[in-house]
Amino acid sequence: MGVESYSASLPQDARDALFSLRDIIRAAAEASGTAPLEENLKWGQPSFAPTKRKGTPIRLSWSQKAPDRVEMLVHCQTTLVEAWRHKFGDLFAYSGTRAVHIPLGAPLPEEALHIMAVMALTYHQRKA
C-alpha cells in the first residue's frame, strides 16, 4: 500500500490536507536540494525521506482519535519540534519532540510549513 492507498481511506478534509502537505514537502525538497524524496509508508503513515541522508524523514498522520487535525511527525531525537515551537509559537499545537498538529478546516500556513519541511529535510546537513 502506498501514499495514495493510505489517503483513499481518509475523510475528504484529511485527504485534502495530506495531499497539500505532500506538495509543500516536495517543494521544500526541491528548494533545499534534497530531492528526490523516497515516498513510502513507515509505521502505516506516509513518509518522505531525502535519499542522501541530508535530513530526517517527515511523516504525516491522521487519526480517528483526533479527527479535527493532521500531524506532521519527525524523529523524536531531533531538536526540530523544539525549534519549530520557538520559531512559530502558538501558530501550531505540538506533541513533545515528535509532532506538530495542523488543524483541519482552516487554510494551511503554507510558508511556515515550507520552512518546517526544509528544516527537517536538511537537519543532518545543517548540524554538520
Note the pLDDT tens digit of each residue in 46-59: 999 998 789 999 99
CA 100 to the chain's CA centroid? 8
Q: Is the pLDDT of residue 28 over 70?
A: yes
Domain boundaries, the chain: 3-127
Within 1-128, strands assigned E span 37-42, 45-50, 58-63, 66-73, 93-95, 99-103
Q: Which CATH architecture is the domain 3-127 placed in?
A: Alpha-Beta Complex (3.90)
Predicted model pTM: 0.94
The mean pLDDT of 105-121, rounded to a whole number, is: 97
Query: Which tens digit of pLDDT belongs to each residue from 30-81?
Result: 999 999 999 999 988 999 999 878 999 999 999 999 999 999 999 999 999 9
Please give the C-alpha separations between residue 5 and each of 11, 18, 45, 59, 125, in angstroms, as whole numbers.
13, 12, 11, 15, 32
Amino acid at 69: R
* pLDDT at res. 52: 75
